[in-house]
Amino acid sequence: MFQLFQIAPVGNYSGFDNLPQAPDLPGGTPWWVVALFILGGLVVLFICRWLWHRLTALKISLDTVVLLVQLPRETGKIDETKEKITPQSIQEQIGVADVFLSALGGIKSHNVFIVLMRKIRHWFKGREDQISLELVAQNGVISFYVAVPKRKQAFVEQQINAHYPHATLEEVGDYNIFTPRGVSMGVNMKLGRSSAFPLKTYKQFETDPLNAITNSMSKIPDGDAAAVQLIIRSAHGNWRHEGIHMARQMQKGKRLSDISGNGIFSKILSVLGTIFSSLSSSSKDKHKEQSSGPIRLSPLVEEMIKGLEQKASKAGFEITCRVLATAKDHTGAELYLHNIVNAFSQFNIYEFGNRFEFKKPWIPSRFLYRFVHRVFDLHRNFILNSEELASLYHFPLPTTETPNIRWLAARRAPGPVNMPKEGLILGINTYRGIDNKVRIKPDDRRRHMYIIGKSGTGKSVMLQNMIIQDVREGKGVCVVDPHGDLVEGVLQQIPAERANDVIVFDPSDTERPMGLNMLEFTDESQKDFAVQEMIAIFYKLFPPEMIGPMFEHNMRNVMLTLMADKEYPGTIADIPRMFTDPAFQKYKVSKLADPVVRAFWEKEMAKTTDFHKSEMLGYLISKVGRFVENEMMRNIIGQPKSGFDFRQAMDEGKVLLVNLSKGKTGEVNSSLLGLIIVSKIQMAAMTRAELPEAQRKDFYLYIDEFQNFITDSIATILSEARKYRLNLIIAHQYLGQLVQNNDTKIRDAVLGTTGTIVSFKIGVEDAETIAKEFAPVFTSFDVVNIEQYNAYIKLLIDNAPTRPFNMRTLPPAKGDPAMSAKLKQLSRLKYARSKAEVEAEVLERTKLGEPSTQAKVSNEATL
* pLDDT value at residue 554: 84
Kindly report, residue by residue over 580-593, the tens digit of the pLDDT. 788 888 888 888 88
Whether the CB-CB separation of 470 and 749 falls below 8 Å is answered with no
Kindly report, residue by residue over 41-85, the tens digit of the pLDDT. 777 776 776 676 666 666 666 678 899 999 988 754 434 444 567
Nearest to 168, CA basis, from 434, 438, 419: 434
* pLDDT greater at residue 238 or residue 259: 238
Long-range CB pairs of 33-39, under 8 A, 24+ apart, other chains included:
none
* pLDDT value at residue 110: 41
Confidence of residue 863 (pLDDT cuts 50, 70, 90): very low
Nearest to 169, CA basis, from 525, 519, 564, 433: 433
Kindly report, residue by residue over 105-120, the tens digit of the pLDDT. 755 544 444 455 555 5
* pLDDT value at residue 124: 55
Euclidean distance between CA atoms 78 and 84, whole angstroms: 8
Instruction: Name the residue ranges covered by the structural domains of the chain.
Output: 63-274+297-392, 425-516+645-822, 520-537+549-641+833-863
Nearest to 150, CA basis, from 231, 65, 46, 229: 65
Q: Please state which CATH class domain 425-516+645-822 belongs to.
A: alpha beta
Residue 402, classified by CB atoms within 10 Å of its CB into exposed (0-12), middle (13-18) or buried (19+), is middle
Whether the CB-CB separation of 522 and 646 falls below 8 Å is answered with no
Kindly report, residue by residue over 300-337, the tens digit of the pLDDT. 788 888 888 899 888 899 999 999 999 999 999 999 99
At residue 427, does pLDDT exceed 90?
A: yes
Confidence of residue 854 (pLDDT cuts 50, 70, 90): very low
Q: What is the mean pLDDT of the chain?
A: 83
* pLDDT value at residue 344: 95
The three-point CA angle 749-755-757 to 5° equals 85
**Over residues 154-159, mean pLDDT:** 90
* pLDDT value at residue 120: 59
Residue 2, classified by CB atoms within 10 Å of its CB into exposed (0-12), middle (13-18) or buried (19+), is exposed
* pLDDT value at residue 534: 85
At residue 202, does pLDDT exceed 90?
A: yes
Confidence of residue 477 (pLDDT cuts 50, 70, 90): very high
**Over residues 150-158, mean pLDDT:** 89
Euclidean distance between CA atoms 659 and 664, whole angstroms: 10
**Amino acid, res. 728:** L
Confidence of residue 525 (pLDDT cuts 50, 70, 90): confident
Euclidean distance between CA atoms 374 and 132, whole angstroms: 7
**Over residues 504-529, mean pLDDT:** 87
Kindly report, residue by residue over 480-516, the tens digit of the pLDDT. 999 999 999 999 999 999 999 999 999 999 999 999 9
* pLDDT value at residue 3: 42
**Over residues 211-232, mean pLDDT:** 93
Pairing of strands 726-732, 502-505: unpaired
Confidence of residue 594 (pLDDT cuts 50, 70, 90): confident
Confidence of residue 28 (pLDDT cuts 50, 70, 90): low
Whether the CB-CB separation of 395 and 71 falls below 8 Å is answered with yes
At residue 524, does pLDDT exceed 90?
A: no
Which H or E run includes 833? none
Euclidean distance between CA atoms 260 and 357, whole angstroms: 18
Confidence of residue 798 (pLDDT cuts 50, 70, 90): very high
At residue 858, does pLDDT exceed 70?
A: no
Whether the CB-CB separation of 5 and 18 falls below 8 Å is answered with yes
Kindly report, residue by residue over 669-719, the tens digit of the pLDDT. 899 899 999 988 988 888 888 888 888 899 999 999 998 888 877 777 788
- Buried-exposed string 372-399: b where 16+ CB fall within 10 A, e elsewhere: eebbbbeeebbbbbbbbbbbbbbbbbbb
- CA-based Rg of the chain, rounded to a whole angstrom? 43
3-state class of 253 per DSSP? Answer: coil
